[in-house]
């Protein structure tokens, strides 16, 4: 019942690496929160927060899956709110925003699944040529 996110093999691998790093960041947030290290919470949350690179990556990954990029970018915005709460030293708000971020994670994974496709299929679905990344 999950919708496909068509990706070239290299894109699928890159996305999985990013997801694993997102989990490491969440683990770091929890560990830092446990010791009231708000600077470390902010650093870890900022790693998965909104940035030009993250926005470009999400837009690129979702080029062939309408709605995916918007949901992915919303996830990163939830991490921005963790960082802001950490900057304020607000434990309750950090915890609440972390819960919202994890809800965004589980919601995305409940909605989408990777579908590895070849270049002609990618071009057809994404409406343009496949990324070259050094080819």
What is the pTM assigned to this prediction?
0.90
Max intra-chain CA distance, the chain: 51
The model's pLDDT over 7-55, given as tens digits with 9 standing for 90+, comes to: 999 999 999 999 999 999 999 999 999 999 999 999 999 999 999 999 9
Query: pLDDT class for 134, splitting at 50, 70, 90?
Result: very low
**Mean predicted confidence (pLDDT) in 96-110:** 97
Beta strand pairing call for 3-7 and 112-116: parallel
The model's pLDDT over 46-102, given as tens digits with 9 standing for 90+, comes to: 999 999 999 999 999 999 999 999 999 999 999 999 999 999 999 999 999 999 999
Q: Is the pLDDT of residue 128 over 80?
A: no
The answer to whether the CB of 69 falls within 8 A of the CB of 59 is yes
């Amino acid at each position: 019942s999950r919708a496909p996110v068509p990706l070239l093999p290299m894109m699928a691998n890159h996305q999985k690496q990013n997801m694993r790093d997102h989990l490491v960041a969440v683990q770091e947030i929890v560990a830092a929160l446990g010791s009231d290290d708000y600077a470390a919470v902010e650093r870890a949350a900022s790693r998965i927060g909104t940035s030009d690179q993250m926005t470009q990556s999400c837009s690129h990954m979702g080029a062939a899956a309408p709605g995916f990029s918007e949901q992915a970018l919303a996830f990163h915005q939830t991490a921005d709110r963790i960082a802001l709460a950490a900057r304020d030293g607000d434990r309750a708000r950090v915890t609440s925003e972390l819960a919202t971020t994890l809800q965004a994670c589980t919601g995305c994974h409940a909605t989408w699944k990777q579908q590895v496709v070849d270049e002609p299929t990618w071009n057809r679905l994404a409406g343009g040529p496949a990324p070259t990344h050094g080819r």
